[in-house]
Structure 1
Amino acid sequence: MSSRSHEQALAALLSQLALSFDGAILGAALAYAAVRSILNYAANSKSLAKIRKSPTVSVSDLRSLLQNHDQDHQDQEHNIVIVRGHVEAKSAVDGTWKKSSRPPNVLLSHESADKAVILQRTQTCIYNEWKGFLGWTSELRALFGRSLKEQETTLLRTVPFILVEGGQWPQSDYVIVNMDGSRHPLPLTTVYHQLQPIVASRYTFIQALFGHEYPVGVLHEEKILPLGKCISAVGFCNSKNGIPEIKSCKDLPYFLADMTKDQMVADLAFKAKILLWSGIVLGSLSIGVLGFAVMRNWNKWKAWRQRHSQQPSRVSGGDVSQIDEDEEAGDVPDGQLCVICLMRRRRSAFIPCGHLACCHSCAISVESEVSPKCPLCRQAIRNSIRIFES
């Protein structure tokens, strides 16, 4: 079977699952996505309000700002500030190096030889995209995650660093950057990027034939936060032993960034607008789909109740036993046996498809279901009619 037919079968399966119960599954999924969008919008709006209220200060003005905060006895939330400065190693102010030597505890890029305070090396294994002749497993991996094994290994090294005034250093003040507990994205600069191909082994053709993934290359990357780079730090700022220190805030999406305050506000405002309209659109669609599903299932249930209440009058007393005796009398050819019980003769035709497939008793059982369907063509049926031979 070709990969195209696999894709069509998978698409048909997903569409059938989404539209099951007259679209109730699809409506529930849309409602979940709408709720997530609204929650993300609320969190984004809260972060936007905090960043708008946060003052933007230089490193030299930070000490006086902290003294005013301590005198006013304000809570920690009002200590959120935005400081823009240049990256410098903390060892430069510890007195652990002389002017004639390079600072200790400064990382050095193996590829570009640039000095940095954060060094990140990443190795990413790239797998093939061919699904193979029997590639159902790769179809599912592409849908729910390519593979359970780790495809990327990352080595992150950091050294203590500070932010200083670019034009006034080393005479200006500085602020210590506390990276403890921060999981925010870092404004790293890529200094090395190379793709190394992997030679195919003797088992590669067999893996490809059955749709199993096999590696075709390894991507090597090296990113650094170099000395002298101008960045913005957003977070809680406190005085520790008389020295300003800034630490990340978990409620904010930024900690160290290339953007200024105005760029952060514009970026968060745009994201908030997208999340809000996404929640409104998805919520409206989910209400419509769920409402349609509820009405369809309610009508089906009422029709089932109506048919169920009419069944006793149609098959009552000794009529059923007489019908069973008539249908079971004599030998019935295989081509005329009921497709459900395989014991009695076919006597009832379904409407509107017209298939003569069941005996009278089995036809009544099919009609009593919530969503009755013809056992041959699976078309929805309204009722059945008994066929008498002349």
Structure 2
Amino acid sequence: MDVRWDILIAASSAGLCAGCAYLLHQRNSHLNAVSQATAFSTVSRLIDYLDENEVNEIELISVTGKVAAIGGAIKSKYLDNLEGVISEQQVVEHRSEWSSALQRWLDSESLISLATNQVPFSLTDGVNFISVFSPNLSYQSPTQIVYDKFEPKDEASAVRHLVNYVVGSQVKGHQYLEKLLPVETILTAIGTVKRSEGELSIAPPENGLPYLISRQSLTEVLQDLKGGTLNPKIFMVIFGAISFTAISYMAYSKYQKYLARKKREALIREMESMRDANGDSTESCVVCLDNPRGTVLIPCGHVCVCLLCSEQVDTCPVCRHEIEQIVRTYNA
């Protein structure tokens, strides 16, 4: 079955354009929501606002504070005197793989070990606290790399090198990474704030609004959100242009086929009228052997094909001379 590439390109690019439009709409919604959220530089100011307005819940706010562990903190595996509330430890294996297609060795990485841990924590201004719920649901990770070390594999024997060369794969070494959210880190939290029995907490909104725990300031968060809308907008325009071009091509092709069909129908009607007017006196086309001859081929001058067949031949059927012009003939 023949593939209609024009339809395939138009449909796929239109789908990608719609996906980019949805992503752009979502990011613009997040940007608008965060830019309109009430911002508090300290937890104490947030509490004062709740007291003044006699409310215990706000749908979306922004508050800044220092990280404080609720209970015991997590000690860093590699660094002394460093503690945090969220920990992620990775071991990444680095290999060289032989590519038969490219005829060269290519570097590759694979995660062979991952350990995560977190403890409850809050943000504080030194006087008041606000508990942070579900930090793993933040669309940006607040952790930072505190340890990154690559340990190359010990030198192998000549026999081992030969085996690796034959197999087409060899281990170069292992990379040890530790990501941590240290205590005392200044964070910006954006989400829904609630106060229950005197306890203040911030958690993911329930209506699809953004939830963010970030080491950036609110101004930097807004700048990132604005920059994040640029790529979907560019790709939306690109895929939209491709889809429009493909659809325009299909419409043009269909219109050309419509014109060709109408022209063919007109020629058929004209040949039928010639047949009716001349009866059997007109010689038949040497190509289709049915319709009456109605054209003269230039420069050879042969009158041998009908109106329909003259549209399909490039050389004269009688002398094989290349056709430069076709002239309609009329019988008086």
Q: Give secondary structure in 1 for the equivalent of 2:77.
A: coil
Q: 1:384 to 1:267 in 2, by over 3 A?
A: same
**Is residue 159 from structure 1 mapped to residue 139 from structure 2 by the alignment?**
no
**Is residue 108 from structure 1 mapped to residue 75 from structure 2 by the alignment?**
yes
Shift of 1:41: 1.1
What is the aligned partner in structure 1 of residue 221 from structure 2? 264
What is the aligned partner in structure 1 of residue 273 from structure 2? none
Q: Which of 164, 168, 182 is equivalent to 2:137? A: 182
Shift of 1:270: 2.6
Query: Unpaired runs of 5+ in structure 1?
Result: 1-16, 92-104, 318-381
Shift of 1:287: 0.3
Q: State the alpha-carbon separation in 1 of the partners of residues 235 and 51 from structure 2.
A: 44
Do the aligned residues in 2 keep the contact of 1:52 with 1:265 (CA within 8 Å)? yes
Structural mapping, 1:1-390, within 5 Å: 21=4, 23-57=6-40, 58-67=42-51, 71=54, 78-91=58-71, 105-113=72-80, 114-128=82-96, 130-132=98-100, 151=111, 153-165=113-125, 169=126, 172-179=127-134, 182-198=137-153, 203-208=163-168, 215-249=171-205, 251-252=208-209, 254-296=211-253, 299=256
Q: Give secondary structure in 1 for the equivalent of 2:137.
A: coil
Please give the per-residue CA displacement for 1:289-341, whole angstroms capped at 9, x wherever unaligned.
3311443366468769999999xx96679xxxxxxxxxxxxxxxxxxxxxxxx
Shift of 1:216: 3.2
Shift of 1:49: 1.3
Please give the per-residue CA displacement for 1:145-169, whole angstroms capped at 9, x wherever unaligned.
x89xx6454211101111111xxx3
Q: Give secondary structure in 2 for the equivalent of 1:184.
A: coil
Q: State the alpha-carbon separation in 2 of the partners of residues 244 and 22 from structure 1.
A: 58
Shift of 1:273: 4.1
Query: Unpaired runs of 5+ in structure 2?
Result: 269-284, 291-311, 320-332
Largest Rg, 1 or 2: 2
Q: 1:24 to 1:218 in 2, by over 3 A?
A: farther
Two-structure CA RMSD over aligned residues (Å): 4.0
Please give the per-residue CA displacement for 1:20-79, whole angstroms capped at 9, x wherever unaligned.
74544333333222212211111111111111111111111222333456x468xx6x43
Q: State the alpha-carbon separation in 2 of the partners of residues 65 and 53 from structure 1.
A: 16
Do the aligned residues in 2 keep the contact of 1:124 with 1:220 (CA within 8 Å)? yes
Do the aligned residues in 2 keep the contact of 1:21 with 1:297 (CA within 8 Å)? no
Q: Percent identity?
A: 17
Do the aligned residues in 2 keep the contact of 1:33 with 1:282 (CA within 8 Å)? yes
Q: State the alpha-carbon separation in 2 of the partners of residues 154 and 60 from structure 1.
A: 38
Q: State the alpha-carbon separation in 2 of the partners of residues 30 and 247 from structure 1.
A: 38
State the aligned residue count: 272
Do the aligned residues in 2 keep the contact of 1:22 with 1:293 (CA within 8 Å)? no
Q: 1:184 to 1:152 in 2, by over 3 A?
A: farther
Q: State the alpha-carbon separation in 2 of the partners of residues 214 and 303 from structure 1.
A: 64
Do the aligned residues in 1 keep the contact of 2:30 with 2:210 (CA within 8 Å)? yes
Q: 1:202 to 1:227 in 2, by over 3 A?
A: same
TM-score by length of 2: 0.67
Q: State the alpha-carbon separation in 1 of the partners of residues 112 and 23 from structure 2.
A: 28
Q: 1:315 to 1:207 in 2, by over 3 A?
A: farther
